Chain A
């Protein structure tokens, strides 16, 4: 059974059709890449899957359940985490605090516990800190824990977003352009990081424009163009696909 399955997902914004009957399946342990020219609908697809938006038509299945239209916070609880294209870090909080927020969906202390400082609250807080540090270690940012998030260079910002997502204990991690703006060294570092995360048991779905990175790291690639899926297969097959080449006409597909 696939971990996630999209079935005829469409999304319309007024008159604009951003997604048209997109269907594909993602299996546990895969690293899948979603590529396509600008405006192809990749972030829209992420939003529909992650709950930031709901599809106009079609269904999304996650871990066997129909999760179409479920809100983002419920998807998080169900085991799906995502990062954002223009990183939405909490800049004036520390790196560690950013990641601790990620523990929110796995902890339970509510208003009463907060108001009255019940022992359960203190216990959860300690556990959250530990788990957050653990997530930071997985991406290699443990030594930056007390720094202000806004002070991080771009490469580390992306890693912090990933750490925050990891803190939610996801089974599926959606990465929206994790390599955007990174130099070769940072991209290679990212690649190692992503592979380590997959080896730890987290399935990855990423959107990227950096073709070298995509072809190098993915097991499977889905190509969108004008909201339609035009190709779906292993990287080598995609690179040779004439439709894909046509969609990217003018782009360097090395």
Chain B
């Protein structure tokens, strides 16, 4: 049982890092950033490439903590840069069009990026050396359950990231500007906030979170492939909608609820259908409470 709790927390953490990006971008631009999944996936691959540098003959050539740290750094930088570029190329020109146009653009971006990585990786799965980086002996034992190092590292890193994000949004000028723009873009611009800059920043922050999440996901699943962005992306999106799209706390809440449902469901009901659980939840929420648990009701303007 404790094992399931740990699994749920770990999965929830990974999804939360991912889901935040969706909510942030939706909150400020009211668009669904379909390409976010691919940013996440590329973050994971950055981890793979960095780690490959330090593994020779199945041995680490440097301190694992250092390697992981470096992976995170590279992922954050690359994902951030990528997301800002995507916004500039695929969304900014469509600012004036109503919401569905960026959706199609996002879809196209997603297909594009997914296939570029697919071609680069020759559509094959790549392994992540979790057992080398976070060896078995680092596992923690509580009573009868063994908590692998990857689990508590993921939960820990996520916690730190979430706290950092919270502080950023609440205490820094940039964070407050982001919240202002999310509430009312026009009013924010009247108060001298550079809206374009804040939008880029939003994509950046969301992508940095996704980059961290990508590395963590690699450690969790011990293998990554070019299509992981889509499958996990649907779950992250579901989590964001569940919690109330546009609401950051909601995204985190939704992630853990979804992770719990999936972990319990796959354990007690069926393992193969665990993905169906996520989609079923998605459709159910969209039909009955599209504003999610913590979201505001969608105003009907006549």
Contact = CB atoms under 8 A, between A and B. Distances in A.
A52 B300 CA distance: 11
Contacts of A210: none
B85 to A, nearest CB: 34
B302 A53 contact: yes
Interface in A39-89: 43, 47, 52-53
Interface of A: 14, 43, 47, 52-53
B302 A52 contact: yes
B297 A43 contact: no
Interface in B267-302: 297, 300, 302
Q: Which 6 A-B pairs have the closest CB atoms?
A: A47-B302, A52-B302, A43-B302, A14-B297, A53-B302, A53-B300
Contacts of B297: 14
Q: A interface, by DSSP: helix, strand, loop or mixed? A: loop
Interface of B: 297, 300, 302
B287 to A, nearest CB: 20
Contacts of A43: 302
6 contacts: A14-B297, A43-B302, A47-B302, A52-B302, A53-B300, A53-B302
A108 to B, nearest CB: 29
A43 B300 CA distance: 13
A53 B297 CA distance: 16
A103 B260 CA distance: 54
Contacts of A52: 302
A242 to B, nearest CB: 32
A48 B302 CA distance: 11
Nearest to A84: B302
A165 B297 CA distance: 32
Nearest to B297: A14
B38 to A, nearest CB: 35
A52 B302 CA distance: 8
Contacts of A53: 300, 302
B298 to A, nearest CB: 12
Contacts of A14: 297
A53 B300 CA distance: 10
Nearest to A52: B302
B295 to A, nearest CB: 13
Contacts of B302: 43, 47, 52-53
